[in-house]
A and B are shown apart, each in its own frame.
Chain A
Amino acid sequence: MSLAQDPRAMAEIELGAAPGEAPRPTPRPRGRDGLVRGLLGNGKAVAGLVILAVFAAVALLAPVIAPGDPNLIQGLGAQPPSPEHLLGTTAKGQDVLALNIWGARSSLFVGFTVGILATLVGLLVGLASAYLGKTVDNLLSLVTNVFLLLPGLPLLVILAAFLPQGLGTVIVVLVITGWAGSARVLRSQALSIRGKDFVAAAQVSGESSLRIMFREMLPNMASIVMSTLLACVIFGIGAQAGLEFLGLGDISTISWGTNLYWASNDGALLTGSWWVFLPPGVCIALVAFALALVNYGVDETTNPRLRKPRRRVSPTAPTPVAGVDIADETKEERR
């Protein structure tokens, strides 16, 4: 690839240095260090991380911020927001703010657990498919495709209806319906790494299969694993809320989803008590949004081509000449 197309390439090519410049480029931080540092410099990622941190803090500090059992009836039913109840009360008379603060715990916990487990299963399937040969690949791909084709929601409903109620069930059910998507993505990335010479070189050196999969291939997949993880967490949070809204989750726990369930059950939609169903919805949306922002940040950090160019030069403009005003050039374009 010529320098004209990939400015990043020039950082890796040793040009005779311009006078005064250091002869050897300083080593760029690689792997995890590089990713973290890059993320912290990226506006979108920082915004997302901040929002997530706030929610995490709220969830962890729930006993401190909203002491007591949120299920207890604390006031008159269906009261709009007021100084004592900042988000009003539910139809039964519970404090909406407390319910949602405590709800963060379950929602975030289940969301992240599902995300991590689904990614893990997908990763194992993907790596195994890519590395362990055609037969294993065909078999695992068949299984993956079956799970992808099965309609998610009916499957969720059926599984949830038959298994005993509880958070464990919710997690299991969501992982079962959610792993296939990440498996497919991770498999294709793993396959492209499998074809690289350094994997063959590791084999020729005598490395064991497990070591090759986890110490040679996996580290090269870091950014896509991260993206998949974030996507799975979003799925976990949303799907959990969906399940619980249908009443198929664990009704006895407090989460944003069950809050929505009770909101609908107790007729908050009918009575127009927006303060009951809006907060859980907004929380879910905000967390999903924050995760998406971090995802964009990861993409931009690992793929410098996605970064916004400093100057507003159109990609089809002719090469600028020093001293000639660029604004004139871009004006030409719009004719």
Chain B
Amino acid sequence: MSAQTPVMSIRGLEKTFPIGGMLSRGRVRALGGVDLDIAPGEIVALVGESGSGKSTLARCLARLEQPSGGSLLFEGRDILRQEPRRASRSYRSAVQMIFQDPFGSLNPVHRVGHFLERPLRLHDAVSGRAELENAKRRLMEKVDLPAELLDRYPHELSGGQRQRIAIARALAVNPRLILADEPTSMLDVSVRIGVLNLMRTLCEQQGISMLYITHDLASARYLADRIVVMFAGEFVEGGEAMTLLAHPQHPYTRLLISAVPDPRRRGAFDPRERAQLRREVLKPVSCPFEGRSDTPCSRDAAVFHTVSESPEHWVRCGLYAPPSDAPGTALELPDTIEGATPA
């Protein structure tokens, strides 16, 4: 990898949510301290199940949530220090987001043209009516939609078309980084590939980085250069996409891979193997890197080992278990498997 400044650099980012009303207070740790670098033009997939904290991470990066700790460096600038309260206009024009629900992310009372016009106007991308119309048309072309749709309302469009509008809206400001939060999970199966292909093409053509958040490992493998696996608010494994999936190290990664429905796979599902993987994730007793890694194992601190065959591939120390106040740790241990404790 080149020595360019990463587009986005996160160190120790945390987010804790208070729960309960004024009388009863509890805390939920959605994000433990996480570190991540995203290089210019790179597509990184963040994979995890619900409760893993991946959406929280995206919302922190989109400045929709205020992190409870840690730092965020955008193109080298310490954002949380420079603009602690509200995101600046320049940040907003550089970091954009695509949401999961194509039905919910477009305001039903506005026409399609409105969604493209607002960002163009807000960021002074165009001057004058003629330029505005041209810019809108060009955006529609970029996402392979006919310009007539500009006059329609969102409810007249299909899910795939709405998601393309959302992509066009994100592109309108010429962003450097796009955060895509499960952009295809609510789309019909037959249009998902089209949207993924579109995103890949646009990123390649315009050098935009993307953080692609998903629970679907197969699409992560298809789209991303790098994959990061997340569980209970922490990163557990990360590395180049194909290598990581071919040689997964962390038990949670192996659990996820085994759960991907694959009609090409002939082997049967083995509940004992699954239960074993879960035990390793929630109640670890040993770390495969013990004695083999430069970084010593630790039960308490978050330690990452690098896989010697591919130094870009890192894994969290097997001895570290997520704290109990992190959500998503309620992986059910099946009760009929001997030795397993009930959930």
Chain A residues proximal to chain B, CB less than 8 Å: 12, 14, 24-25, 27-28, 30-31, 138, 196-198, 200-207, 216, 219-220
Contact = CB atoms under 8 A, between A and B. Distances in A.
A201 B93 contact: no
A201 B166 CA distance: 9
A114 B63 CA distance: 41
Interface in B80-132: 87, 89, 92-93, 95-97, 99-101, 104-109, 118-119, 122-123
A226 to B, nearest CB: 15
Interface in B260-287: none
10 contacts: A27-B152, A30-B109, A31-B109, A138-B22, A197-B99, A200-B97, A205-B92, A205-B118, A205-B122, A206-B87
B169 interface: yes
B299 interface: no
Nearest to A138: B22
Contact of A205 (B152, B158, B169): B169
A219 B104 contact: no
A7 B126 CA distance: 43
B122 A201 contact: no
Given A25-B156, A27-B152, A200-B99, A205 B119 contact: yes
Interface in B163-191: 166, 169, 173
A206 B122 contact: yes
B62 interface: yes
B102 to A, nearest CB: 9
B156 to A, nearest CB: 6
Q: A-side binding surface: helix, strand, loop or mixed? A: helix
Q: Which residue, A28, A30, A31, has most C-beta atoms of chain B within 10 A?
A: A30
A100 B79 CA distance: 67
B49 to A, nearest CB: 20
Contacts of A202: 107, 118
A54 B158 CA distance: 46
Please name the 5 residue pairs, one residue from A and one from B, whose CB atoms are nearest each other, closest first.
A206-B92, A197-B105, A198-B107, A197-B104, A219-B109
A157 B20 CA distance: 39
A332 to B, nearest CB: 39
B100 A206 contact: no
Given A30-B109, A30-B155, A200-B62, 4 more contacts: A202-B118, A203-B64, A204-B64, A219-B107
Contact of A220 (B99, B108, B122): B108
A204 B109 contact: no
A200 B153 CA distance: 19
Contact of A207 (B22, B118, B155, B173): B118
A267 B64 CA distance: 66
A201 B97 contact: yes
Nearest to A208: B122
A216 B122 contact: no
